Amino acid sequence: MVPLGYITDSEVADESVAEKVYFQGLSKNGVLMITLNYSASIDTFASYAEYVVHLLDKTIASSFNGREIGNEKLIGILDLQNITYSNVDVRGMITGFQFLQAYYPERLATCYLLHMPQFFVTIWRFVCRFLDKATQQKMRIVMSEEQKQEFIREVGEDVVPEEYGGRAKLVLLQDVVVNY
């Protein structure tokens, strides 16, 4: 799947056009942070898997290049503001999280789910059945103002995007240059 050892930006250009993944830098505790705006626009499983590998590899490589210690983690923000009944891809969500569990074990420090609509609660319970207990414990649903403030305190106001109450600007993942 990756003859060069990584997937180039040009190989996933169709997905990058959607502008749904952002690189936020390091949290106040030195953990890499990325933001994903939910979008179910991927055509095939193969292109989805390729995009997930590209996303994770580029994210990890771009934040720690030259400073690797072997246990690099990441914080994910999954923004569900644009999710609707018609664009929910339950299979894709399950596959994405299972991919993370199987091929990038222990990379996920925490995943914050923001702007979760009420209808999605039932869907999320179903998705969780396919996740191992360790991954489930890393998921944090942010719905109340108190939870939002706790999220900002935990991650750090300087890296939380302005859209979510912090001070950081969103930086598209495809704009990040990595020297593999």
What's phi and psi for 178, nearest 5 deg? -120, 135
In a domain, 4, yes or no: no
Counted domains in the chain: 1
Give the number of other Cβ atoms within 10 Å of residue 24's Cβ.
24
pLDDT in tens, 5-33: 667 777 776 666 667 788 888 889 888 88
pLDDT in tens, 103-116: 777 888 999 999 99
Q: Best-predicted range by mean pLDDT among 52-66, 91-105, 137-151?
A: 137-151
Q: Which two tokens stand for residue 115?
A: 């702007």
- Domain of 41: which CATH number? 3.40.525.10
In a domain, 68, yes or no: yes
